[in-house]
Amino acid sequence: MSETKTSTKLLRLGLRRLLVLLCLALVGALLSATLVRFAPGNSASERELDPRWRADSVEALRQQQALHQGLPSFYFHYLAALAHGDLGQSESLRRPVGELLRQRLPVTGNSVVGGLGVAWLAAALLASLGIACRGWFFEASTTAFNSLLLSLPSAVVAMLAVHLRTPVFCAIAVVVFPRLYGYIRNLLVRSYDQPHVLAARARGLGSSAIFLRHVLPLAAPPLLALLGVSFAISFGAAIPIEALCDSPGLGQLAWQAALSRDLPLIVNVTLIVALVMLAANSLGDLAGRTFSGQPQ
């Protein structure tokens, strides 16, 4: 009975999150539309500036364009196009934004997933090793190494990756690793210091049993939430890394768009990334709550 109640609450929470995500998508789309609408030079098309066109033809052209209609009409046209997957045209690359996203998203997706996999594995292994052998030397050396990595700008890591000819996902892993390691280590230390874990140790339980039965249930929910956050960190790191490593992903696209002040492109790329991040965060949070069985 209690399990049914919990799953109903979790389902409600999931639906609420989905509704919030849809509302945020709508707000984000309206914000994007506003930025695109008021982008400098966005209300003029090249044909309008062509001296061979007559004044009445230019006026007719303006009438055809949604950009020259009122703001509500522009929003309606923008959202209708968005619903059909039309994200507009990139001004600098002269290609549809949707097509660019379809090409670039898998490249960044692969780099991010690979980087996250390596970073999580390394951070979890090192944190577990730190718990297994708690000594001042290990702690001091890992803290110093972690601090050094945290002090390096992502762009410098990218340049190092270019010089060493390492894949992009390795550079992303180097940027994400120190942020994960510090959190995972603190979480494990706190979990192992809990009274019930000490009691289990006193009862003579094996280390694997203590980890699986007592530590993991405690540490899993925040770790799952961290998984969502780590996606945002790695997407953020992808901008300088892809830009400097010449990897044709979303990060490079965003950088090129910012340099050429291509507002429709950068705004739509950011909107898509924001939605992916929000979905990842919500999924991570929901997974954590499901694991802990605490929907509220």
Partner 1 sequence: MKPLQKVAASILFAIFVSMALATFLLPVPYARQFRDTPNASPSTAHPLGTDGLGRDSLSRLLYGTRVSLLLAPAAAFLSTLIAAFLGSVAGLLGGWFERIVLAASDLSLALPWLFLLLVVRAMLPLDVPPLVSVVIAFLMMGLLGWQTSVRVICAAARGVRDSDFLLLARSTGCKPARLVWRHVAPNLRPLFYAQFFISIPLFILTEANLSILGLGVMEPMPSWGNLMRGFEDLSTLSANPWRLVPLILLVIVVMCFQLVLPTQEATQ
- Residues 191-220 touching partner 1, rule: CB under 8 A, are none
d(CA 140, CA 132): 15
- Interface with partner 1 (CB under 8 A), residue from 155, 200, 225, 287: 155
Question: CA torsion sign, 170 to 172 to 178 to 180?
Answer: negative
Q: Is 270 in the site for partner 1 (CB under 8 A)?
A: yes
The piece of 6-14, 75-83, 192-200, 232-240 that touches partner 1 (CB under 8 A) is: 232-240
C-beta closer to partner 1: residue 99 or 246: 246
d(CA 119, CA 238): 14
Q: Is 255 in the site for partner 1 (CB under 8 A)?
A: yes
Q: Is 113 in the site for partner 1 (CB under 8 A)?
A: no
d(CA 272, CA 88): 13
39 contacts: CB under 8 Å, gap ≥ 6 = 263, 264
The piece of 49-57, 63-71, 158-166, 198-206 that touches partner 1 (CB under 8 A) is: 158-166
- Interface with partner 1 (CB under 8 A), residue from 18, 19, 148, 198: 148
Count the neighbouring beta carbons within 10 Å of the beta carbon of residue 239.
Answer: 22
C-beta closer to partner 1: residue 101 or 257: 257
Q: How far is the CB of 159 from partner 1 (least distance, A)?
A: 5
Q: Residue 50, SS3?
A: coil
Asked whether 72 and 96 are in contact (CB, 8 A), the reply is no
d(CA 196, CA 70): 65
Number of residues that bind partner 1 (CB under 8 A): 44
Q: Is 165 in the site for partner 1 (CB under 8 A)?
A: no
Q: How far is the CB of 163 from partner 1 (least distance, A)?
A: 5
Q: What are phi and psi of 249, to 5 degrees?
A: -110, -170
Q: Is 30 in the site for partner 1 (CB under 8 A)?
A: no
Count the neighbouring beta carbons within 10 Å of the beta carbon of residue 287.
Answer: 17
- Interface with partner 1 (CB under 8 A), residue from 98, 263, 288, 289: 263
Asked whether 257 and 265 are in contact (CB, 8 A), the reply is yes
C-beta closer to partner 1: residue 126 or 239: 239
Q: Is 274 in the site for partner 1 (CB under 8 A)?
A: yes
Q: Would you list the DSSP string of 100-141? A: HHHHHHHHHHHHHHHHHHHHHHHHHHHHHHHHHT--HHHHHH
Q: How far is the CB of 280 from partner 1 (least distance, A)?
A: 8
Residue type, 31: L
Q: Residue 188, SS3?
A: helix
Q: How far is the CB of 106 from partner 1 (least distance, A)?
A: 18
Residue type, 59: E
- Interface with partner 1 (CB under 8 A), residue from 90, 111, 154, 230: 154
C-beta closer to partner 1: residue 119 or 210: 119
Q: Which residues bind partner 1 (CB under 8 A)?
A: 24, 35, 39-40, 147-148, 150-156, 159, 162-163, 182-183, 186, 232-233, 235-236, 239-240, 243-244, 254-255, 257-259, 261-263, 266-267, 269-270, 273-274, 277-278, 281
